[in-house]
Amino acid sequence: MKTIVEVKSLVKNFPIGTGIFTALNGVNIEFSEGEFAGLVGPSGSGKTTLLNIIGSLDIPSEGEVIVLNKSVGKLSPRQAAQLRKEELGFIFQNYNLLPVYTVFENVEFPLLLLKMNTEERKKRVMETLEWVGLTEKVNSRPSQLSGGECQRVAIARAMVKRPLLVLADEPTANLDSANSHNILQTMEKLNTELKTTFIFATHDEKVIGYLRRIIRLKDGKIVEDKAVD
Amino acid sequence: MIKFLFDGLMRDKSRSLLPIIVVALGVMMTVFLQSYMNGVMGDSIEASANFTTGHVKVMTRAYNQNISQMPNDMALLGVDTLLQKLNKQYPDVTWAERIQFAGLLDAPDSKGHTRSQGNVTGMGISLLKSNEEIDRMNLRNNLVSGRFPNKPDEILLSDQLFHKMNLKLGDEVTLISSSMYGDMAMYNFHVSGTLHFGINVLDRGTMIADISDVRSALNMENAAGEILGFFRGKRYDDKMAITYADNFNKQYATSKDKYAPEMLPLSDMNNMGFFVAYDNEVQKIIIMVFIIAMAVVLWNAGLIGGLRRYGEFGLRLAIGESKHEIYRSLVAESLLVGIIGSLIGVLLGLFISYFMEKYGIDTSEMMKDSTFMLPTVLRAHITATTYFIGFIPGIISTVIGAMLAGIGIYKRQTANLFKELES
């Protein structure tokens, strides 16, 4: 399998007052294409920080993170934005849908940034909404949807540009059990069918139950990295 | 992308409706104030032009130097030829010859002895050949009694002087003045009508006669103190007047003759330069005031809108828009708001200005004892500038407001987006 993320001796420090807080301390890890992996650990373990750096939202203090052959620390803000725009998908705990736009338009938005033509955009959006089972809600606004439906729109928005890597931070935190399973099954299906790599940051047992690889973090270090059958 | 942003903007009333209303109101007021100031200032300038200065005025150099003394001994000679030349050279200008003079008016009794006397400042204008000067000087509205002269040797007198001298319409009066050659001039007239100007200096003692009679009275055959030029169908245009005057004066630049004709633009006469400059500057002042006021309001509206859209901007940064792109889209949105608001504001402003131009506000009752030469009906005046002036504050203020409010985008830390978007 092709390696799409390489994390080498990663250290991330944050200044706190006059001192320094080390959020990640010597992390080494690789992710291959098609993985369905999770960074698991309690609050403050460094999982969101690692997700941030992999997502080119932040840069390493030391070490190197290579995402899709690009060293995150060496990217300019514009190049980092370009990487996120073209190759990465994000799923947030709070869905973060744009309230004035319809389901269709929310999903269409990343394609507009890629300047895709209208016809292909429509085709791609409808196809993606079909994957997540929301074709009948294309004209609904986020306020007219349930939490589960909103998160499925967010998944569709992350998937519509066919990213190689999707980063999901606590995607089920605001959902009930039934909706959580539904969402996770949808993501699992997309991972299997499209070979999209999913990396989660979570401490939700429901999510952990779906992961095929679990990386446990504690105090900024990897304490366990195991594959799950 | 533009359509996408436009749809979002229109659907989110809180970020479109308020700014559009603010812009539309500001633009409407800018348009109205511009046309109103233009109307009032322009009318005042026109009133002055029609009465004393013309848009341009031709005199001899010597007459111009002593103009306050109405020195008819320095008047233009060979006026017929000069008028022909002016008409040929400036076909878009209407020329009107005038003679200003001063003298003593004497009213005799039945035995021919002086019954009453009064000082007069007089004006010889074309009254018998056409009504052009009557209309130009708006004399119809000033006629209190009698009629306009319709035969030679008839005059109009200011009503105040008329009563002071105990005159009756049709009475004979004698003008005692000095001729163009400096000797005493006496000439009999009959009073055909009286005028009330509402301007103290004019009401005290004004006499208006046909220019041919004044020529006879003051021995000024084919002479005139002044030839006034009025741009045909147009209001005063300072640039045009200066150009015409410069071109005319070039023809006599090498002449040392102090009686050579000289053309002056209105702005070089009677301290009108300040008025004309003020008329021009006031538009800039209005625009600046509205740009600043609206920019401050829209800046604040943008800041509030920015807070409401904090999540949206965060998401857009996360999914790959650069800060610069988001900032640019904010400015583009504001441009859209500016254009829509300005269009609405211009239409509203033009609508109000149109009625103000057509009907005006009649202040004649309030201004009947005014000593200023101001128009009694305050009217707006719509010009080509009125159609676009509103777009300047409308668009600039919205864009400035958005640019100031959008600076916050550059302060966002992408590293905190996950935290921010999940809080």
Identify the pLDDT of residue A131.
Answer: 86
d(CA A223, CA A201): 15
Give the pairing type, strands B261-265 and B56-60: antiparallel
The answer to whether A202 and A50 are in contact (CB under 8 A) is: no
Buried b / exposed e across B391-419, counting CB within 10 Å, b at 16+?
bbbbbbbbbbbbbbbbeebeebebbebbe
Identify the pLDDT of residue B271.
Answer: 77
Q: Nearest chain B residue to A163 by CA: give it.
A: B319
- Count CB pairs under 8 A between chains A and B: 82
Please tell me whether residue B412 adopts helix, strand or coil conformation.
coil
- The amino acid that residue B253 corresponds to is A
Instruction: State the residue for tokens 């319709």.
Output: B150
Q: How far is CA B94 from CA A113, B64, B278, in A?
A: 64, 21, 26
Identify the pLDDT of residue B87.
Answer: 94
Name chain B contacts of A86, Cβ cutoff 8 Å. 320
B418, B421, B422, B423: best to mutate for the A interface, most A CBs within 10 A: B418
User: H/E/C letters for each residue in B124-153?
Assistant: EECCCCCCHHHHHCCHHHHEEEECCCCCCC
- The amino acid that residue A228 corresponds to is V
pLDDT above 60: residue A99: yes
Of B1, B414, B418, the CB nearest to A112: B1
Name chain B contacts of A115, Cβ cutoff 8 Å. 1
Identify the pLDDT of residue B370.
Answer: 55
Identify the pLDDT of residue B89.
Answer: 93
Identify the pLDDT of residue B374.
Answer: 62
Give the pairing type, strands B76-77 and B172-178: unpaired
Tokens of A123: 């085709």
Cβ <8 Å between B319 and A113: yes
Closest CA to B65 of B274, B272, B269, B266: B269
d(CA B368, CA A215): 94
Domain residue limits at A176: 3-227
Tokens of B13: 């009333």
φ/ψ region of A102 (left if φ > 0, alpha if ψ in -120 to 50, else beta) reads beta
B17, B317, B322, B323: best to mutate for the A interface, most A CBs within 10 A: B322
Cβ <8 Å between A98 and B321: no
The sheet carrying A70-71 orders its strands as A19-32, A3-16, A62-67, A70-71
Give me the residue spans of the domains in chain B.
2-47+275-422, 56-235
B24 min Cα distance to partner chain A (Å)? 24
Q: What is the pLDDT of residues A134-146, one digit of tens each?
A: 999 999 999 999 9
The answer to whether B322 contacts chain A (CB < 8 Å) is: yes
Of A85, A96, A115, the CB nearest to B421: A96
d(CA B103, CA B176): 6
A48, A100, A140, A200: best to mutate for the B interface, most B CBs within 10 A: A100
DSSP bridge pairs for A6: A30, A66
Those residues with Cβ within 8 angstroms of residue B259's Cβ, 6 or more apart along the chain or in another chain? B60, B61, B62, B74, B76, B77
Identify the pLDDT of residue B376.
Answer: 67
Cβ <8 Å between B415 and A58: yes
Please tell me whether residue A43 adopts helix, strand or coil conformation.
coil
The answer to whether A199 and A191 are in contact (CB under 8 A) is: no
Q: How far is CA B336 from CA B29, B395, B401, in A?
A: 20, 9, 13
Number of domains making up chain A: 1
The answer to whether B312 contacts chain A (CB < 8 Å) is: yes
- A68: CATH: 3.40.50.300
Identify the pLDDT of residue B410.
Answer: 81
Closest CA to B208 of B315, B297, B124, B320: B124
Tally of CA atoms within 13 A in the half-sphere of A154 that contains its CB: 30
d(CA B19, CA B278): 32
Per-residue pLDDT of chain B in tens (423 residues, 90 and over written 9): 778 888 888 888 877 888 889 889 989 988 998 898 888 888 888 888 888 899 999 999 999 999 888 899 999 999 999 999 999 999 999 999 999 999 999 999 888 899 999 999 999 999 999 999 999 888 888 899 999 999 999 999 999 999 999 999 999 999 999 999 989 999 999 999 999 887 777 888 999 999 999 999 999 999 999 999 999 988 889 999 999 999 999 999 999 899 999 999 999 887 788 878 887 787 778 778 888 888 888 777 777 777 777 778 888 888 888 888 889 988 888 888 889 999 999 999 999 999 999 988 877 666 655 555 566 678 888 988 889 888 888 888 888 888 888 888 888 777 777 666 666
The answer to whether B207 and B18 are in contact (CB under 8 A) is: no
DSSP element (H, E) containing B385: helix B384-389
Question: Rounded to an integer, what is the distance from CA B389 to the centroid of its chain?
Answer: 17
Chain A neighbours among B 388-407 (CB < 8 Å)? none
Identify the pLDDT of residue B201.
Answer: 77
Cβ <8 Å between A100 and B8: yes
